[in-house]
Amino acid sequence: MGSLGGVVADSQFHVLAVDDSVIDRKLIERLLKISSYQVTTVDSGNEALEFLGLQDEENKDSDLPSVCTANHNRREVEVDLIITDYRMPGMTGYDLLRKIKECSSLRDIPVVIMSSENIPSRINRCLEQGAEEFFLKPVQQADVNKLRPHLLKERLRNNKSKLIEECLGSRPIKKENFQ
């Protein structure tokens, strides 16, 4: 392996798959596992938020200012990518995407939307909100193969941040450190 291998490819990527359809959930889980991804499946946007450590807005006090009240530090498994169905009861995939992108600690996790409906305005809206890809169902292995560049980019970004933190140690970041 090249220099990239030691930094990026040594650990398995973890994908959170969200779909209310058991058949579609099993299909995406199988395709992801064939590609050697670790997979967690949930059947709703609310379950995904719970898994990510975000409190459900309905259960929060109304005077709390943030949409992102995260308990994600208690999460034992890091999520490298989220793939979600667009049309689900309760919370749509678009709503889930918005909540993730509004949360400063989660916004860098790539999100991919899937749908059986080819509606250009919906696709554009999801991409404009920050989705990395929009797959039409049924999802194919070729679609899953498009995920790796997004995962590698995010893993490199995380490793770069950790390296900077290690180099700076507990020193405060000052302007003169970068001149």
pLDDT digits (tens, 9 = 90+) for 38-82: 999 999 999 999 999 886 544 444 444 444 655 545 455 789 999
Both ends of the chain: CA-CA distance in Å?
A: 35
Per-residue pLDDT band for 115 (boundaries 50, 70, 90) equals very high
- Predicted pLDDT of residue 79: 93
Positive or negative torsion for Cα 78, 84, 67, 106: positive
Beta bridge partners of 17: 41, 83
The answer to which of 96-105, 120-129, 161-170 has the lowest mean pLDDT is: 161-170
Domain ranges of the chain: 11-178
- Predicted pLDDT of residue 4: 38
- Return the number of other C-beta atoms located less than 10 Å from residue 94's C-beta: 20
Q: If you average pLDDT over residues 150-164, what whole number do you get?
A: 77
pLDDT over 50 (residue 111): yes
pLDDT over 50 (residue 128): yes
Q: CATH 3.30.70.330: does it fit domain 11-178?
A: no
pLDDT over 60 (residue 172): no
